[in-house]
Amino acid sequence: MAFDVQEFKKEYQKKFEELFAYGYEAGSKTEQYIALGDLVRGLYSEDWIQTITEYNKKKEKQVYYFSMEFLPGRMLKSNLLNMGILDCVKQGMEDMGLDLDEVARAEVDPALGNGGLGRLASCFMDSIASTGLAGNGNGIRYRYGLFKQKFINGYQIELPENWLRNRNVWEVRKENKAVIVRFGGDVSFTQEDGDGRLRVRHENTRDILAVPYDTAQVGYNNGIVNNLRLWSAEIPYGDEARFSTEEQREEVKRITEVLYPDDSNYEGRLLRVQQEYFFSSAGIQSIVRYFKRLNLDWSLFPDKIAIHINDTHPTLAIPELMRILLDEEGLTWDQAWEITKKTVSYTNHTILQEAMERWPETMISDLLPRIYQIIQEINRRHIDKKTPLYGEELSQRTAIIANGQIKMANLAIIGSHSVNGVARLHTDILMADTLHDFYVMYPQKFNNKTNGITQRRWVQIANENLTAMLDETIGTEWKSDPEEIKILKAHRDNKMVLDKLEQVKLANKKRFAAYVEQEMGIEIDPTALFDVQIKRLHAYKRQLLNVLHILDRYLQLKDNPNANLQKRVFIFGAKAAPSYYYAKQIIKLINSIAYLINNDPSIKDKIKIVFVENYGVSLAELIIPAADISEQISLAGKEASGTSNMKLMSNGAITMATLDGANVEIRDNVGDDNIFIFGLKSDEVQEYYRNGVYNSRDVYDKNPRLKRILNLLIDGTIPGVETEGRDIFDSLVMYNDEYFLLKDFDGYLQAQYEADVAFSDRDRWNRMALMNIASSGPFSSDYTILRYADEIWKIKPQSGSKFN
């Protein structure tokens, strides 16, 4: 974008005065941010209009990414970066006596997601625009994002996150694009004049207005600006009379009021399914409206539209598209079904049974009577068609409706043409195990798309020091083609480069240490090893295994205060679902251990524990560049992919991992010398589950080192965890340790010991860090998205795009 510093300063001052009626010098950080954001939105608006006009004119095939969650992070700097004016604006701000970073921190981080799945959706939105693909996001504009986490006395407390409090400069409300979403009502059929066709009458519905708010998704230096459309529930205009009581009005607003805080665990709540239908229906309606303007035959729908559903949360898009094609557009069942299947594709993000969405039949029949009929018919035809081919048993096992429940994964698979897992191992497990019945029926639907991350946010924005060092060492090609970062490998034995890398890491660790000092009053040594585990709190992710290791070091130092142990800072960031009692107990335990150890003078700062409050995208940007070790220690077979593993690797952290999810592919890329692997393999875990011979009590009895650690949980050593310590002890020792922590403990300690040894050899460690950075290119979400585009969506980057 052609733009110079002088011009920017003039524009900024003008914008500020226009908005606030005084000079920018007197403004608050928030006002200074709003003025800048507003100016930036104005700068890409022409490209935004141009992009949409182009797609329409060329009748370009477009993909719509349906996701219940998006976690974009702060957008100011990423927009500036992608527009190519970050440096110019930084300079201009500085000239005016302002610090861009400080101003940027005034933006509230939109937490419209829980964790991996939501952040993946946002990396994908960036990559779709940046590779020059015609794509759109479709989701919900929650009034309140994921709760704000506070620790009080070590316990997690949840507070409402009012992310819209200071105005959202990026969104544009599009009232004229609103649609009506209908709930409840009565369905009847009438024979209508002449053609003998059955017409559906759906009356007495509760009608909700869905109003879209659009946010630009700016591509990286390519002039493309795509759209993320988030829907908000409102009372239909002119229908105020029907919503006369406060209660009725509240009910409407409630639909998009708050994001469900469950991650990898589903709750069968009515409001949740209302949300799911609300944004699925609104999205489908606006897609159909667009398609009709193209004036093409309905059979061409799949040639112009691809709809991708992010997990099963938007699965009702399938029967909703059927409903519109059948009831409103008059297509036959077979026509509508062909179109729907060819249009929709589905990503699975979990094999955990407790995360699989199943809705009570009566809930759907009451809430969505017509959709319910369509699901029944899809199910009936599925059974009819598959029973003669595969027999009664197999077809019943794949039924959508069974035991009074509707299985959303089954509907998603049957109603789509593509089913993908998110890492090689995960997809293999889906095919061999979790979804094996479907794999037998539809082998051609199954495919893998290993997740990715955008290095634009996770390196260029989060780690400016590393970015500058890379530019200096290998040039700038890696910024537009992430694989090119492999050139760095040529410098693996270059002492100057290795030292430079160490300096970069140290600077980032100092930056984080300053934050920790300021916000938490904990002093940490930036030369210590920073050991990082940042992800949602879940038993299968095994934050507790990390805790056992910490306690082992604690005991070593208690026994021998001069033990030759590497100084470490253990950094945790994690939210627990408010209803997940065990996860919250683990939070309390970690906080209590932190308090005990951080304040024990005999430990002499050899161990520090930092559990940051309210972990999210912005904190991740601060922590990840400062990490030495990346903890990826889930029980093998349980973590579908993981994505923090990729972000940490890209920033030169060394992975400490089980062979789970994408860790396997990370190992394949960096090689065994540049990663620490331990623990059961996924097939070994499967085998234990099948033959049931694991006995954790036995391990406890026979391993004195481990026994001593576990006893700390119940002997009063850790203050304030009487209940938590006992419950956690019992889960591991008495209730057979569902996630095999005790089984993997020895291997984990060994790997941690090796990490200590490696860290003490600075050249060796720096070389490992370099090799990780240099091997991270293949995990760019740009490549992931190009594979989705090529193999699933059948769309090509715009001509002129370097990816075309």
What residues are labeled active site? 349, 535-536, 541, 643, 647
Contact between 621 and ligand 26Q per CB under 6 A: no
421 binds ligand 26Q (CB under 6 A): no
Per CB under 6 A, the list member of 212, 642, 725, 797 interacting with ligand 26Q is 642
Of 116-175, binders to ligand 26Q (CB under 6 A) are 116-117, 120
CB of 600: closest distance to ligand 26Q in angstroms? 35
For 99-196, list the strands marked E by DSSP.
135-140, 145-152, 155-161, 171-173, 179-183, 186-191
Nearer to ligand 26Q, 121 or 210 (CB): 121
Site string for ligand 26Q, 378-397 (x = CB under 6 A): --------------------
Cβ closest to ligand 26Q, residue 138 vs residue 286 = 138
User: Is-contact 626 530, C-beta < 8 A?
Assistant: yes
Give the N- to C-terminal CA distance of the chain in Å, as an integer. 21
Contact pick of 202, 254, 272, 707 for ligand 26Q (by CB under 6 A) = 272
Of 169 and 255, the one with the shorter C-beta distance to ligand 26Q is 255
The burial of 658, by beta-carbon neighbours within 10 Å (0-12 exposed, 13-18 middle, 19 or more buried), is given as buried
Regarding 637 and contact with ligand 26Q (CB under 6 A), the answer is no
> Cβ 354 to ligand 26Q, closest distance in Å?
10
Q: Does 278 bind ligand 26Q (CB under 6 A)?
A: no
Place of tokens 């539809």: 442
**Shortest Cβ distance from residue 535 to ligand 26Q (Å)?**
8
552 binds ligand 26Q (CB under 6 A): no
**Coil vs helix vs strand at 612:** strand
What are residue 582's phi and psi, to 5 degrees? -60, -40
Q: Are 384 and 398 in contact (CB under 8 A)?
A: no
Q: Which of 433, 440, 441 is nearest to 350 (CA)?
A: 433
Between CA 258 and CA 146 the distance in angstroms is 8
Distance CA 415, CA 338 (A): 9
In the complex, least distance from residue 111 CB atom to ligand 26Q, rounded to whole angstroms:
13
Report how far residue 255's alpha carbon sits from residue 744's, in angstroms, rounded to the nearest whole number: 44
In the shown chain, the binding pattern of residues 430 to 469 toward ligand 26Q, with x for contact by CB under 6 A and - for none, equals ---------------------x------------------
Nearest CB to ligand 26Q, comparing residues 266 and 458: 266
Among 212, 637, 661, 797, binds ligand 26Q (CB under 6 A): 661
Structure tokens at 392: 């009664």
Options 41-49, 280-288, 437-445, 640-648: segment touching ligand 26Q (CB under 6 A): 640-648
**Which residue's Cβ has the minimum distance to ligand 26Q?**
116
Q: Say how far apart CA 77 and CA 618 lie, in whole Å.
A: 12
> CB 658 → ligand 26Q: shortest distance, Å?
13
Figure out which of the listed residues 130, 156, 343, 641 binds ligand 26Q, where binding follows CB under 6 A: 641
Q: Which one, 577 or 709, has the nearer CB to ligand 26Q?
A: 577
Instruction: Determine the Cα–Cα distance for residues 671 and 772; give it in Å rounded to an integer.
Output: 9
Dihedral of the CA atoms 201, 207, 208, 210 (nearest 10)? 40
User: Phi and psi (nearest 5°) for 88?
Assistant: -60, -45
Q: Which of 126, 262, 327, 628 binds ligand 26Q (CB under 6 A)?
A: 262
DSSP conformation letters of 274-340: HHHHHHHHHHHHHHHHHHHHTT--GGGHHHHEEEEEESSTTTTHHHHHHHIIIIIT---HHHHHHHH
Beta-strand runs (E) in 717-800: none
Among residues 37, 115, 132, 212, which is the contact residue for ligand 26Q, using CB under 6 A?
115
Residue 352: CB atoms within 10 Å: 16
> Considering only residues 55-114, where is the footprint of ligand 26Q by CB under 6 A?
114
Which spans of this chain sit near ligand 26Q (rule: CB under 6 A)? Answer: 114-117, 120, 260, 262-264, 266-267, 272, 349-350, 355, 357, 422, 451, 639-643, 661
